[in-house]
A and B are shown apart, each in its own frame.
Chain A
Amino acid sequence: MKKIAIIDYGFGNIKSVTNALLFCGADPVVISSPKELSNYGGAVLPGVGAFAPAIQFLKNLNFDKALLDYLSAGKMLYGSCLGFQLLFTRSFENGENVGLNIIEGDVKHFNFTDGKLKIPHMGWNNVELKNGNNIKKMFDGINDSEQFYFVHSYYVALKNPSQIGAITKYGVSFCSAVAIDNVWGSQFHPEKSGNCGLKLMKNFIGAC
C-alpha cells in the first residue's frame, strides 16, 4: 500500500480524506510537521474554511517552504477545495492575502447581481476537461463532463489559461481542476464525489 501524507494544519476535513484514501487502497498518514513531508511520494492538502487563517497556519507551521521543496523533488501533491485555492498567488477573501503561488492566479468571490444563483455554489456540477499535461491521467476512466461535489463561495482565476485543467459553469465559467506535472488539485471535493471522486483519487494514488 502506498503511503500518502495528509497535511493537517487545522483546516482540513482530515477524516473524509483519510476514509477515501483508505477506501481507494492507500495508506494515509496524517502529518502536522513539514519535516515529515519528504518521507512521502504523495501528499494531499485538504481544506475547508476561510483562506486567510488557513494560509497563516500553513505558513506558521512552515509548510509553505516545505511544500516548494517537496514539489521541486518531483513528488505528487493534490489540493482539494480550500487546499486547491491555497496553491494560487493571492486571494481576495476578506481582504487580500498571499497564497503559496505554486500556480499563478487569483482567488475571487462569486459576484452575481441577478440574485438567482445561490452562494455558496453547493452541490453536484459538471467538470469539463480542458488542458494540462496530466489532466487525462487525472481523469483516466472518468467521462468528460461528469459531476463532482462542490461547496465554495470563491473560485480561482488562472493567469495562464493554458494551465486550466477543467472548467465548471456557475454564473461564470471557472477553473475546477488542474493537473500540471506533479501539481494536481480541484475546487470540488473528490473525497465526497461518489464513484467518480474515488476513481480520481485512485488515479492520484497511482501517479504517486
Chain B
Amino acid sequence: MLSIRIIPCLDVTDGRVVKGTKFVNLRDAGDPVEVAKRYNDEGADEIVFLDITATHEGRDTTIDLVRRTAEQVFIPLTVGGGLRNMNDIRNLLNAGADKVSLNSIAVKNPQFINEAAEKFGNQCIVVAIDAKKTEDKKWNVFINGGRIDTGLDVVKWAKDAVKFGAGEILLTSMDKDGTKDGYDNQLLEIISSEVNVPVIASGGAGQLEHFFDACKAGASALLAASLFHYKEIEIKDLKQFLKSKNIPVRT
C-alpha cells in the first residue's frame, strides 16, 4: 500500500533554521543539516526547506545547505521560497534537491510552471498555494508570503497549476496556520477531489487526530513545522497513531 507521507518543514534563512528547535544532543541546534538528519532518523518520509532568505548572498548559503543535506540525508528533499527563474531551479536540483516548490512566481507567470515541468519533469515541480477563506466554501490565493490577495479562486488555480504541469500541490490554509486546531479539511477535500496529483496538507495541525482527519479529507501527505520542532508530537508516535487507525504508514 502507498503510505501517507509525513513531512516536517524547516524555515531556513542564511543557512540556518529560523524557528528554534528543542532537539537535544545536537551539535548545533540551528543547523538545518543536523535537524534534517534527526528527522530522517525519526522516520520522516520527506523534508521540506522553506527558504525565507531575503538577500541574494543568503541564497548561496541555501544552495550550500541543500548540497550538505543531500550528502547525508537519503530521503526526498523539497526546497521552496523565492525562486525566480529556471536557473534557480537548476541550481537547487544540481545541489541535490529532488523537488522545488513554486509559489508567487507560478501565480504571476503560470507559463513558468510549464517551462520548468518540461525541462525538469513534473515530478519535481510542486506548486505551493497559500489559501485564505473569503466566504463559505470559497478561498482566494495569496502571494508574497501571504501579503497580497490575488483575487484568484483557489480551486480554479489548483486545477490550472496542474494543467500547466504541477506534479504536486502544497496547500497551506492561512486561516488555520499556527492555530493548532486542525487542517482546513473542507478545503483539502475539495482540492484533492478536483486535482489528480497528490495534495500536501499544510497549516493547522495540533493533535494526532488532525492528521487522521486530513487523511480522510484526501491528503496524500501531511506537513507540519513547529509541532515537530518543539516535539509536541513525535513522528514515530504520529505514525503509530495513524497505523492504529488503519492508515498505511512507513515504519
Binding site for B on A (CB under 8 A): 13, 15-16, 19-20, 22-23, 48-50, 115, 118-126, 147, 149, 151-152, 169-170, 191-195, 197-198
Contact = CB atoms under 8 A, between A and B. Distances in A.
Nearest to B44: A194
Contacts of A22: 71
Interface in B88-125: 93-96, 98, 120-124
A122 B96 contact: no
Nearest to A16: B96
B1 A118 contact: no
Nearest to B197: A118
Contact of A122 (B40, B72, B75, B220): B220
Q: Which secondary structure dominates where chain A touches chain B?
A: mixed
Given A13-B93, A120-B123, 7 more contacts: A48-B124, A49-B121, A120-B197, A125-B3, A149-B76, A151-B123, A194-B75
A198 B73 CA distance: 11
26 contacts: A15-B96, A16-B96, A19-B71, A19-B96, A23-B71, A23-B74, A48-B123, A49-B120, A118-B220, A119-B197, A120-B122, A120-B167, A122-B123, A122-B198, A123-B45, A123-B221, A151-B76, A151-B167, A152-B123, A191-B74, A192-B74, A192-B76, A193-B75, A194-B40, A197-B74, A198-B74
Size category of the binding interface on chain B:
20 to 34
Interface string B61-94: 0000000001110111000000000000000011
A195 B37 CA distance: 12
Contact of B75 (A119, A149, A170): A149
Nearest to A148: B250
A170 B198 CA distance: 14
Nearest to B199: A118
Given A118-B197, A149-B76, A152-B123, A124 B70 contact: no
B2 interface: yes
Contacts of B96: 15-16, 19
B100 to A, nearest CB: 13
A115 B167 CA distance: 16
A124 B3 contact: yes
B5 interface: yes
B144 interface: no
